[in-house]
Structure 1
Amino acid sequence: MEQNIIVRGIGGFYDVLTPENRVIRCKLRGRLRLSIEKVLVGDWVEISVLNNGEGVIEKILPRKNELIRPPIANLDQAVVVLACSDPKPDWLFLDRLLVIIEANQLRPVICINKSDLLDQEQHLDRIELYQKIGYEVIVTSTVDNQGIDCLRAVLKDQVSTFAGPSGVGKSSLLNKIESGLELPVGAISTKLKRGRHTTRSVELIQLSFGGLVADTPGFSQLNLGSIRAPELQQYFPEIFTAASECKFRGCIHLKEPDCAVREMVASGEISELRYQNYLALLAEIEQKR
């Protein structure tokens, strides 16, 4: 990392990772406590080091992005994890997360985990669909190590977060990627087929091969925030590209005449699944108006 970055907050103190790979426990300069609303894990900071080895945060630098839930700043990318089974993949949930991630100016990476539980062929069409659109998709298993090296390469020298429903194996993947972490792994509820959240606080974990990663809680309940209906298509790349051929400039691809997007859905050039997910998210946005 080229700058000092907060990796952990503990009761009014902050652990700051320096470019020299030192972790210094810091507190805020008094005037900062009065002048800023909040300090986030991921914040870039300027610090001064005291004689006792502890530090003082003198300045919080401008953020390139900021998530509210989970509260974290300055991420480069988000790895969205779904499971092949147990729990079964929710493709609307995936598209919702992809929209939110890109709206926050993060690079999305899709990880399909637990490939050992089912024949990969069952989801091959979906994997190829997202790859064709332009997303990076990695298929992984912590049982036979499929895709683990590919995931390490994606995380190297980046500040990343794992996102996805409970129970898909986010903590298990991190334990496999970085030996010695021993993050707690939650069991799957047999009644709900959902995992119990096992991560309790936001923390950036330093990776031995370079980079930082957060296994953040609360990422499974996300709304579309301030995204407006006309903007939604920007986060569906294939729809946004096709929209340039629509007759009307403000077309949002519902019932407008001469809609190129609906024509391409009908012809199979745009996935019916993705289009229906777009419509579901669009309806959600419209209901909040």
Structure 2
Amino acid sequence: MKTGRIVKLVSGVYQVDVDGALYNTKPRGLFRKKKFSPIVGDVVDFEVENESEGYIYHVHERSNQLKRPPVSNIDHLVIVMSAKAPDFSSQLLDRFLVIAHSYALSPSIVVTKKDLLTDKASQDLNERLEVYRELGYDVEVVGRDDAVEQLFTNWSEGLVVLSGQSGVGKSTLLNKFHPELSLETQDISKALNRGRHTTRHIELFKFEKGYVADTPGFSALDFDHIDKTELKDYFVEIEDYGTACKFRDCMHMKEPKCHVKAQVEVGAIREFRYQHYVQLYEELANRKERY
């Protein structure tokens, strides 16, 4: 019996790393009966059938888990955005942050392709990103010729997941850090202003004292697991100021004596962040019930 971490899943075969040795494994039938599937990132116990193959019979308890992409036991979640091609969107960033906080993860933010911006656009971007730094997020901005070693050194232990929409440069960042990976990258679709999916499966790569994950990009975000009443907890400043509202269950929409709306009016909460909250709240409130 051996214990290791699932680092890759392709066509029903789970590749498990045990101190650098890789085993191709499959889950026992009991997982199908329980309607439970192991995912990349899981720590598993498996029986060795021969030198490089085996059968998984136990999955250790997960410390956390993302639904899209399906990966578990994450130590560092890094939301990768691009300054241009596709254009930076604070609304999209806020949605990624909501997803991260809904899974009890504390994300960092990396913005790529700064070299594609004019000086004025670069200044505008930095002003917008300063809002996130003030909220306590670790924010880094990199260009094509910038070294990224320090970025990965900051995440030298545990499992690092790079997440973000397609085309923002997740695979490019990994290639710069680990050139031997030669991960596939593609140009942006100009008609859609978004990248083509180049990463077709989740895979963990060993580095330093941990792993870094290359994951498929998102074209859409899934909020099915989030109730509208929970959303206020996933905007850090709204959660903070909301404790002073008159009503404990205040949703910061039309309620009287709402401390959050008062802070928006005086600029303590940025208007664009509040508007993103309102837009997403209304989406969650109006979605159809599923039966």
Q: Structure 2-normalised TM-score?
A: 0.90
Cα shift at 1:214: 1.9
Structure 1 equivalent of residue 21 of structure 2? 22
Structure 2 equivalent of residue 5 of structure 1? 5
Structure 2 equivalent of residue 184 of structure 1? 184
Change (3 A) 1:126 1:47: same
Structure 1 equivalent of residue 116 of structure 2? 117
Contact 2:245 2:258 in 1 (8 A): yes
Cα shift at 1:174: 1.0
What count of residue pairs does the alignment treat as equivalent?
A: 283
Structure 1 equivalent of residue 137 of structure 2? 135
CA–CA separation in structure 2 for the residues paired with 1:177 and 1:121? 27
Alignment of 1:15-94 (within 5 A): 15-18=15-18, 20-94=19-93
Contact 2:165 2:217 in 1 (8 A): no
Contact 1:69 1:218 in 2 (8 A): no
CA–CA separation in structure 2 for the residues paired with 1:150 and 1:128? 21
SS at match of 1:101: helix
Contact 2:31 2:37 in 1 (8 A): no
Structure 2 equivalent of residue 144 of structure 1? 145
CA–CA separation in structure 2 for the residues paired with 1:108 and 1:157? 15
Structure 2 equivalent of residue 175 of structure 1? 175
Which amino acid in 1 is paired with 2:263? M
Structure 2 equivalent of residue 246 of structure 1? 245
> CA RMSD, aligned part only?
1.9
Contact 2:7 2:16 in 1 (8 A): yes
Q: Deviations for 1:201-250, whole angstroms, at most 9, x for unmatched residues?
A: 1211222x232122211533112122222211111111111111111111
Q: Deviations for 1:3-37, whole angstroms, at most 9, x for unmatched residues?
A: 6111112333321112x222222233454454453
Deviation larger for 99-108 or 114-123: 114-123
Cα shift at 1:137: 0.7
CA–CA separation in structure 2 for the residues paired with 1:232 and 1:12? 35
Q: Structure 1-normalised TM-score?
A: 0.91
Contact 1:15 1:26 in 2 (8 A): yes
What are the ranges of 5 or more consecutive residues in structure 1 without an aligned counterpart?
A: none
CA–CA separation in structure 2 for the residues paired with 1:124 and 1:13? 44
Contact 2:185 2:198 in 1 (8 A): yes
Which amino acid in 2 is paired with 1:145? D
SS at match of 2:55: strand
Cα shift at 1:122: 2.4
Alignment of 1:247-286 (within 5 A): 247-286=246-285
CA–CA separation in structure 1 for the residues paired with 2:165 and 2:28? 38
- Flag as ranges the 4+ runs of structure 1 deviating above 6 A: none
SS at match of 1:89: coil
Deviation larger for 105-114 or 222-231: 222-231
Change (3 A) 1:185 1:51: closer
Contact 1:164 1:220 in 2 (8 A): no
Deviation larger for 235-244 or 185-194: 185-194
Q: Deviations for 1:180-218, whole angstroms, at most 9, x for unmatched residues?
A: 1111111111222211111111211222x2321222115
SS at match of 1:16: strand
CA–CA separation in structure 2 for the residues paired with 1:238 and 1:8? 37
Contact 1:115 1:140 in 2 (8 A): yes
CA–CA separation in structure 1 for the residues paired with 2:22 and 2:151? 25
CA–CA separation in structure 1 for the residues paired with 2:34 and 2:82? 44
Cα shift at 1:252: 1.0
CA–CA separation in structure 1 for the residues paired with 2:194 and 2:50? 49
Identity of matched residues, %: 41
Structure 2 equivalent of residue 126 of structure 1? 128
CA–CA separation in structure 2 for the residues paired with 1:199 and 1:249? 44
SS at match of 2:181: coil
CA–CA separation in structure 2 for the residues paired with 1:254 and 1:34? 45
CA–CA separation in structure 2 for the residues paired with 1:227 and 1:31? 30
Which amino acid in 2 is paired with 1:149? E
Contact 2:164 2:217 in 1 (8 A): no
